[in-house]
């Protein structure tokens, strides 16, 4: 229910530290090592200086995805569709060497 994690390395040159209580995010600290856009996805609303709702594709080249061919499913397979929970996406423009704080608005 309560805890913290420090120093997680994320794609795009970001180092993340989390603190939570009662199973909910309290604070997310982001150290940008290279600068650029940091896209965040959350189940709960977030607030923080510079945080904006995400629009379109992420312009950070470290988030670029490689196109993949369509998947194939065997006729013998039983596929149960999974619906992921609704999330909120945010963009945070960062500068190299700067630390940013984001908080749950709940």
Q: Where are the domains of the chain?
A: 2-59+87-104
Q: Which pTM does this prediction carry?
A: 0.82
- Secondary structure letter of residue 78 according to DSSP: -
Question: Comparing C-alpha atoms, which of 5, 52, 4, 12 is closest to residue 32?
Answer: 12
Domain 2-59+87-104 carries which CATH code?
A: 2.60.40.1180
pLDDT of res. 88:
96
Rounded to an integer, what distance in angstroms lies between the CA atom of residue 74 and that of residue 78?
9
pLDDT over 80 (residue 103): yes
pLDDT of res. 59:
86
pLDDT of res. 48:
96
What does pLDDT average to over the chain? 94
């Amino acid at each position: 229910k309560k805890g913290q994690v420090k120093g997680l390395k994320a794609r795009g040159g970001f180092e993340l530290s989390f603190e939570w209580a009662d199973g909910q995010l309290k604070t997310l600290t982001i150290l940008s090592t290279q600068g650029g856009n940091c896209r965040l996805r959350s189940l709960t609303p977030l607030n923080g200086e510079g945080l904006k709702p995400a629009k379109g594709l992420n312009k950070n080249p470290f988030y670029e995805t490689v196109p993949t061919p369509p998947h194939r499913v065997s006729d013998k397979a039983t596929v149960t569709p999974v619906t992921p929970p609704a999330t909120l996406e945010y963009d945070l423009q960062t500068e190299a060497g700067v630390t940013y704080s984001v908080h749950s608005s709940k």
